[in-house]
Structure 1
């Protein structure tokens, strides 16, 4: 009898263990360890429960793996795809202090529950993984002591719960993005190849967080003496000499020194040739043009141009490489040399280029956008920018003030609005316990952006081409928000794949026609309205395990056949009596994101619909108001 009872208890025990065993996670771990060479220090007994394996922690029900810690166990080679990414409930992953190499598998993006990722002290390489900014629940990220390269993306700001970011001892280059995550209390990018000024948002961290980047300045480091929106001058050879662990010059250092020497010889040769040509030209040179006729005061055909104001005189080709003010020029009186001496801070990056806040010596502050991959010729560039400069000032449009064209650099200059962009305010305040934009403010910003876009369509007769939240800039009064960066997309090759900077906002037909239209602007504006209503970034939305679903499809899937509060930003639900207005704006947004362009309303009609929603509130400025000088 006793023997029978014991047998029954043992049988029930094994039933309980087997029923709680995380079979799918067990298969994923066995697959990972079978495909990854490792030392004998890691022994997983196949007869034991997965939850009892070294480095493995399961949830309270022992039904899924939530932690995997394998530090210093001799893992070698690349991380195999299709293995660890199957641990759907994983919250902590530590593979530090191994010899893992190569790029990380992109399917790590499916680890939606991941909170802590520790990959330091390996041999990993490649650019900053594009899937990491999608891991919106991450609170700790450590990629230090590897060989990652390229730029640190501005999209890191999507990790709004991050408390620690460690990227030291890698090969990251370029300028530091303006990372403004309220919860971030530990940060380190030391010993990389970063350049430019330290963004103001990061100056709270000590100098040790930035040490070892010889071209980095500002904040806790030495002051910046020159702007970094132009290509940096070569560093002295003494600063470029680096040594390997054996004490000898590294191969990279030798290559850099040789390249710098060749560049200096080439520059000297060009200078000598230029001086000789100048001396020869001086002998037969006709009288100089009057000082009142600037190089850009003349168009390529030789006729006077009244739309541009040059900072100095002369008509030579070299003199044309100067700062050109357009329209009214904003009343500015600085020149290119003043801009070169300005200190600069990175505001953000996109596929069109990088934007900088430039503070001139006399205190004037402007925004300089350094364009990249411009396909337009000089004549096309100058003609197009002159046309953009003639767009009449409007209270909800940020005007172009100046531009600069040379073979290596293309810059555009705008006014600086210290309140920042809609992206920063709408998403940057997450986790702080409050939203900086209440419902009334969001509604007024939406209307202001619509009015600015309507002005571009109906008065200037040009599509914006790049409507997104980061191009909606704010003022203290939400009704005075402006659309910026309008009309620049024609400067870039239309034969190339549509630029990724509009991912999430891009109308379906743009992929085929490869150019912006008035109707594609309306679609992008509709996505912007959905972003305001839901609080979700358009390129970060997903449903369950489905990746890459766009914001309009997500809203449609949630709403189904009747309007529901589930789609709205939870922070808006605490404002009483606004549900009806939110539903009305949602209907407007869904009309704008219709798949077929002909089914979308004109932007002027959209503005009238939003004005009807706001009509019960205090009167708003009329659409034909111009920007007051004090705004």
Structure 2
């Protein structure tokens, strides 16, 4: 009996020791993330001041940072268009070994792609487009990568064959670089978006990629479906001699004038072709005004698919691709993140449609798409500032951000999962006793 009683304190001591070790590991991990981010901020110049400080908590107050649910690690870094300059130093962002989402696009980052960062096993989404990166694409890419966008940089070398190992990859955008060599024959079952256009690639397009549109490959020295067929030349067959040409193809007959009927036919055909091209361009311009199809509801339940044509394209100018956040807002997503989000229609009103948007990292927002609102930019901004001031009222859902362009105007709010005032009035909701009228 005494032996059992003596064992209890030892068991308790062991449990307490392991629990303290667990807590210290979590604190140390978050502290190491914090130190890595502070080193990055100190060594990389940035045009817009970051509110990162050793005296403030990382997960709740730092701009561009999202942590895990238990607030133990940094899982997402969003710093698009903040004026970052120069290379990414080693032993900074590469130390964030729980990082899943990296978005540093629309900056002026340069130098080689950081191998320690792009080899983090935890990475799922990488958005580094519209920078000045150079050098080769590192072959040691994260095995569970879902989306990789390195477009609009100055990358050289070949596309690494190790891309074949990225079986979870759904999007690969490498357009507008200086990549050379042939396209690897990678067969990725989940790949939905591929863009290799405007590089210096050569050879033929692998058969596993024939289902992608021609726009994925234009601007290279490549052939094969969906582009023109590759020419096959048999070196053993001699080219025909001019003495063996048929009479109609001899040089002496090449100066014969076209008949009047042939000239009329060519003119009519050319006019029809010009008219067809004009109509095609008009229809193309009208089609592109549909907000990239991101918030167009489907008939089955009002949900939308992620846009395929402009999925993460990032081709827009920085100013046109910018959400304006209100002071005190800790969110740091942008318009492209909203376009990539899954959307569900919450309601339609006289001023537009309201959507529930779930971002890739799990954040849920409400997006109000205004329609038939005619206002110049400065007038719209003043109105938004007035609405933003009302956000401090405890009984109002605060406006977090807005977007203005000539064709689109969006309002972004917090998502309140408890329901709406309309459902409380008209829905089949059991109202607690204390919310009713008391005598």
The TM-score normalised by the length of structure 1 is 0.32
Structure showing the higher helix proportion among its residues: 1
TM-score, scaled relative to structure 2: 0.46
